[in-house]
Structure 1
């Protein structure tokens, strides 16, 4: 059973039943949304093994935190946020593992070896670095910007998902883009 084989209403129904403690519904839900979750994670982490780690973390978070889905929007919209956050957490962990805390530990290497640290060679490194930089001073802009510009959710979906007014979402995305533009390669 995959998310493509189920309608959005069927996925929402499974999620509601899983929230109510139905373990069979939870198993069916996780199996159904796994391909979608992996695709979201691969959008951030191009190396399959890294994306699979993030996907597994996202599915664990879904199982643990399903009660935080309020049912107002589609479950799959909520799932996108969980998957993006898991992928970003995996990226941060891999980045921290790849970057020596002490410059003396690098033993003369100018940068981590991309053959052993796949995320460093990732195609979205500039975007993830920009989001990390923006998040330090303006965390409210990162999630709406990723949901709109990377995952293509509509402004209405983002407003519903985040529980903020539509105008606020549009403003956050606009300001986030202004902050991100100079941080992206060739965006100066």
Structure 2
């Protein structure tokens, strides 16, 4: 049963309908995959806008996320909602787009000491560079903490949903988030 109309005129679907489309798409139903991508595009774009507020950057990340969904739909395990899995794909695509743009923005011939401080110099207008840089640092040193921390503190998903998505006990997820917060806090602007 449809729940309303989306931003681009696409009929918004109920979570069960989205899950059903995803299962059919996993089974090779090309029409279901097309319908699924159209149904989740507005949600995917909103997630990407949360990381990359510049509209063109968010659109690029959204496109990348939808391509990843189409190519990797078989990796959705079906344990949780498809939209929860989609959040992870969209966040990772937005972060990948940010990394690519950051690498293009700083010429490779600039010595590291001459590079601008990312906490005070905007590479992409309007982006929380301190948060993105903190996540990059955390990913290098403690990669298992990045996804739970982003899903909880940026996207507000409940602990039990994160645990189901990651296939980990809720207590482990809570511990990863708590420890991740401790490590990230000093990296954020104003705390450094």
Structure 1 residue ranges (4+ consecutive) displaced by more than 4 angstroms after TM superposition: 1-4
Give the whole-Å Cα distance in 1 for the aligned partners of 2:123 and 2:59.
13
Gaps of 5+ in 2: 117-121
Matches within 5 A, 1:102-113: 102-103=109-110, 111=116
- Cross-structure match for 2:175: 171
Correspondence for 2:160: 156
Deviations 1:149-175 (CA, angstroms, capped at 9, x unpaired): 000000001000000111110000000
- Residue 81 of structure 2: aligned partner: 74
Q: Distance in 2 between matches of 1:69 and 1:37?
A: 16
Q: CA RMSD in A?
A: 1.9
In structure 1, the gaps of 5 or more residues are: 112-117
Correspondence for 2:133 among 129, 135, 138 = 129
Distance 1:55 1:78 in 2: 14
Per the alignment, residue 35 of structure 2 pairs with 28
Deviation at 1:182, TM superposition (A): 0.3
SS at match of 1:30: helix
Query: Does the C-alpha gap of structure 1 residues 110 and 179 become closer, same or farther in structure 2, counting only changes over 3 Å?
Result: closer
Aligned residues between the structures: 179
Q: Write 1 or 2 for the structure with the bigger share of helix.
A: 1
Q: Name the residue aligned to 1:55.
A: 62
Structure with the bigger RCO (C-alpha within 8 Å, sep 6+) is: 1
The structure-2 alpha-carbon separation of the partners of 1:75 and 1:4, relative to structure 1 and needing over 3 Å to count, comes to farther
